Amino acid sequence: MTLAVRYTAARTLDTAPAKTRSPGPGEVELAPAYVGICGTDLHIFHGDMDARVAAPAVLGHEMSGRVVRVGPDVEGWRPGDAVTVMPLRWDDTCPACRRGRQHICQNLDFIGIDSPGAMQQRWTVPAATLVRLPESVSLDRAALVEPTAVAVHDVGRAQVREGERVVVVGGGPVGVLIALVARAAGAQVRVVEPSAHRRLLAEESGLAVWDPAAGDVPDLVRRWTGDAGADVAFEVSGAAGGVDTAVEVLGVRGRLCLVAIHPRPREVNLHRFFWRELTLVGARLYDRSDFERAVTLVADGTIPADRLISKVVPLTEAPAAFAALEAGGDVMKILVDCGNDTTGA
């Protein structure tokens, strides 16, 4: 028997024994080392996704670990290989898949939401979901590859180009990662974030950050851009005010990339879209090229993973870590240590 963190009801998690399933054809058994807790995990914890998540459910999709066993017909992987997982399983038959957009399959199995996730000591997944990690990357830092892949996809969807002015509204983990990836693409970036702690972390990562309470953000953007407005804005806050800010800062033919999941419809200044010929772009998940790019960015230090990891807790303390994240405070990213890191990192 191994241990797993399970969602059992709204605001209720437990750590319980879980059966290890031997890998079948095309599958691989992994020993997760570290698993990040993300905003979607918190939505599940709050009970907001009960219509989709069947309790008891093992959570977690931001992970790093090592191969333990390979099933029949699996080639290219062997025990000990360091890996992360692109947690998507698609049907290859729906209209989205047939158009080459498997990551937004209309019948998508998001592993860790729709099926058991990584917050356990043994985890069996399709070999096709594995992404190789270089041995030079410590497994704790590698747990940030999945959210970095989100940021890579978002920056790609917004078509950020060198020299452009970019405003990121929301300086949580994904917002900071988007800002770092956009900066790596050659953009000039400003992050808007009300939390003093998160502003400090972003500044320590080399980013320029504005406190929305300290001044009118659209006015700051006008002065920064010589009255031109931003080329791209990312809405990562999930708040109605964040939507307003992201729209107002954009210049003529600016692009608004919607990243945050808004639980209810928002009012949007459509006149602004008409007047300035703005473009709204949705961004969801990632594809394999985004993951591979994310591995490179974490490995070469473009993503300062050590600064973004606030705390590492053992598997048995994961329920308390969810409560700490819910309470807010001086926390950016919490990792759950599944007890399988044999690298000594």
Cα 20 to Cα 319: distance, rounded to the nearest angstrom: 21
Q: Which of 15, 40, 225, 279 is catalytic?
A: 40
Cα 170 to Cα 232: distance, rounded to the nearest angstrom: 14
Cα 153 to Cα 137: distance, rounded to the nearest angstrom: 22
User: What is the separation of C-alpha 177 from the centre of its chain, rounded to a whole number of angstroms?
Assistant: 9
Q: Which of 2, 20, 43, 302 is catalytic?
A: 43
Are 322 and 13 in contact by the 8 Å Cβ rule? The answer is: yes
Q: Is 40 known to be catalytic?
A: yes
- Whether cis (ω within 30° of 0) applies to the bond prior to 265 is no
**Residues in Cβ contact with 81 at an 8 Å cutoff, skipping those fewer than 6 apart:** 66, 67, 132
Are 225 and 251 in contact by the 8 Å Cβ rule? The answer is: yes
Q: H or E element: which one contains 297?
A: helix 288-299
Strand partners, 345: none
Are 235 and 258 in contact by the 8 Å Cβ rule? The answer is: yes
Q: Is 12 known to be catalytic?
A: no
Query: What is the end-to-end Cα distance of the chain in Å, rounded?
Result: 26
Q: Which residues are identified as catalytic?
A: 40, 43
